[in-house]
Chains A and B, each alone.
Chain A
Amino acid sequence: MTRTLRAAIAAVALAASGPALALNICVEGAYPPFSETAVDGSIVGFDVDIANALCAEIGEECALVKVDWDGIIPALLEKKCDAIVASMSITAERMAVIDFTKKYYQSPPMMIAAADSGLVATPEGMAGKVIGVQRGTTHNAYLDKYYGASEIRLYASQDEANLDLAAGRVDAVMADSVALSLGFLKTDRGAGFVALEGDFYEPEIHGAGVGIGIRKEDTDLRDRLSAAIDAIRANGTYKEIESQYFDFDIYGGEN
């Protein structure tokens, strides 16, 4: 009697310990071309392909978990996933909460506006104008620091900010240059919009490239993924994925 009970409890405990083998990866799904939701509901993009390639490299089975940008770091901390592959810049602010692998790409920030707007992208030039940005990004922090004279409008996703730029509700939008040029400027919706002149890159704010977010205690996973990034760059997998999305080098130099 006691033995069957004990066996039953053991069986339940085993079942409850859940899918320990699969690695859950948090992705966003609203940041084209890095991460976007396809018509059939699946998530595709550069981030997703890199995540899959890295999983194959370290021999883990991976499951993608779609999480809104707002809640993506909390989701990692609450173990809803084990790694964030969502074009997240490695910054000191975030390093206080989570850890990162080495970078897997790096591209500079950019501000875009209507071609006929005649706007100058300096804080003085944008005074009194409305700038849209995704909440909680490095670009949000940059605008907060320098563009106090502009109205900063915060969006939950980059897609929504782009929609409002096209609709004329905001005068300009700031985000990553690749996400803006391929995710908006080169699409039908982006006709009539251009990148404004200016160098907005500030290492303290924008960080040293984009890495994979990992919980601080998972140093082993961090090191394996960092090694896997080197490995797919060495064996040509990275180049193969890169060429599907970009006709330029998105990795930048080693740092």
Chain B
Amino acid sequence: MHADLVILNWHLFASGAWMTLQLTFLALAIGFSIALPAGLARARRVRVVSPLINGYVYLFRGTPLLVQTFLIYFGLAQFEWIRGSWAWTFLRDPWWCALIAFSLNSGAYGTEIIRGAIVTTGKGELEAAWALGLSRRQVDWLVLMPSALRRSLPQYGNEAVFMLQGSVVASVITLQDILGAGRTLNARYYLAYEGFLAAAILYMAITFLLVLAFRGLEGRYLRHLRPRGVR
């Protein structure tokens, strides 16, 4: 066990952690902004749009994130016309390829989470809103969406943790994330597991903070769903 080598190369892991956090949070944010309208359209079964979204969700939930990332990074690079187009300024860079893959993936899972939360909204909640004489738009934005988003919090917390763990895929397309830092350490000193162990501890620490943050959000926004008398 060479804990000293990990500490000596702390900067490797620090920049790796920054890379992992960047990719995870940006992908979650972009994914959420895809999921919000897409989930609503799916729940409403909007004509033409809904089947398209369905296809997108099926495609990205039906294939592993690693394969998606490989296809975007190595796959698209095989086409001369893509390399000659404006898109290449982004696709040339492994960071953008990872962000695109991760965002689309997280968006697909998010879409299903939001859709599920919307369709399971209590009928009584909506009837009460209609009875108050609110317009359809008011019901949507004052009652339905706030309620659905609150109830999607636990599942979205799960998705955030999955995205964090999934972001290790970045290291296979040359990005130096936490796992990349661990691999570099292993390769530099011919170690078998010290780099992986340090990476595991870092991922665990970030997961812990994520779980804590979502628990805080749930405590605040799901208070009304707690059983009565339980504090």
Contacts and interface: CB of A to CB of B under 8 A. Distances in A.
Interface stretch (B22-30, B109-117, B185-193, B210-218): B185-193
Given A77-B192, A163-B77, A154 B83 contact: no
A169 B94 contact: yes
Contact of A156 (B77, B83, B172, B191): B172
B190 A94 contact: yes
Q: Point out which of A93, A135, A155, A167 has the most chain B C-beta atoms below 10 A from its C-beta.
A: A167
Contacts of B150: none
Contact of A74 (B77, B78, B188, B192): B192
B135 interface: no
A73 interface: yes
Interface string B153-195: 0000000000000000000101010001001101110111100
A169 B92 contact: yes
A73 B92 CA distance: 32
Nearest to B88: A168
A70 B77 contact: no
B191 A154 contact: no
Contacts of B176: 154
Given A74-B190, A74-B192, A135 B184 contact: yes
A78 interface: yes
Interface string B90-119: 001110000000000000000000000000
Interface string A120-142: 00000000000010011000100
Contacts of A38: none
Q: Is the interface of B mostly helix, strand, loop or mixed?
A: helix
Given A156-B172, A163-B77, A168-B92, A70 B187 contact: yes
B184 A167 contact: no
A198 B90 CA distance: 32
A168 B83 contact: yes
Nearest to A96: B190
Contacts of A22: none
Nearest to A77: B192
Contact of B174 (A70, A93, A153, A167): A153
Interface of A: 70-71, 73-74, 77-78, 93-94, 97-98, 132, 135-136, 140, 153-156, 160, 163-164, 167-169
28 contacts: A70-B183, A70-B187, A74-B191, A74-B193, A77-B192, A97-B190, A98-B190, A132-B174, A135-B183, A136-B186, A136-B188, A136-B190, A140-B187, A153-B174, A154-B174, A154-B180, A154-B184, A156-B183, A160-B74, A163-B74, A164-B174, A167-B74, A167-B77, A167-B92, A168-B83, A169-B77, A169-B93, A169-B94
